Copies of this chain bind each other. A is one copy, B any other.
Amino acid sequence: MSLVKVHITMSVDGYAAGPDQSLEDPLGKGAEALHEWAFATRGWRAQHGQEGGESGVDDEQAVAWSENLGAVLMGRNMFGPVRGPWPDETWRGWWGEDPPYHTPVFVLTHHERAPLEMEGGTTFYFVTDGIESALEQAVAAADGKDITIGGGASTVQQYLRAGLVDELNLHVAPVLLGGGERLFENLDGGPTGLDLVELVASPAAAHFRYARAR
């Protein structure tokens, strides 16, 4: 059976993205530093077609991102900076022609758009009828493998609030952003029903893993 996993990085002061997201600053100001723990790893680099990188605590987390991965779910702002109806088909994601997913990717949006087949096995599907429908489509596409919800904060909040997350991988970078998009809000007093299964750290990040209480 497919597990629904969240992998998300936040600053230690609670932000999954910095303030003032833009085309130049897709993660918001100062927020590139959030993901430095991953950029240095062998696993992240391999996923992005690069050689080298470090092994160790952070690498194990980076590798877990795509382990047994069958499909990805993401919010529209993670896919790109376009807001409102799609003006045309020009925007094809932040990642170039060979995105690092290599699976179907379901993008939550209010605006219809035809599927977008990229190189390397990634196809973006645009889902306009809600988070449950997107998850059903992702599960069908994953064919028994797992689903990773990649962000951003609002998408993760929606799935946590709906109680649809089996595993929460929370990567906490020692960065103080001072503002941006908070991860832990709009959760109606939750998340609930998640038990800690692992807490490890490198000098670059602390990694908290929670699993649905059995």
Contact = CB atoms under 8 A, between A and B. Distances in A.
Interface of A: 12-14, 170, 172, 174, 176, 178-179, 182, 184, 187, 189-192, 194, 196, 198-206, 208, 210
Given A14-B184, A203-B199, A178 B174 contact: no
Total identical chains = 2
A199 B189 contact: no
Contact of A200 (B184, B194, B201, B204): B201
Contacts of A192: 176, 178
A190 B178 contact: yes
A206 B172 contact: yes
23 contacts: A12-B170, A12-B172, A12-B208, A13-B14, A14-B14, A14-B184, A174-B196, A174-B199, A174-B208, A176-B191, A176-B192, A176-B194, A176-B210, A178-B189, A178-B192, A198-B203, A199-B201, A199-B202, A199-B203, A199-B205, A201-B206, A206-B206, A206-B208
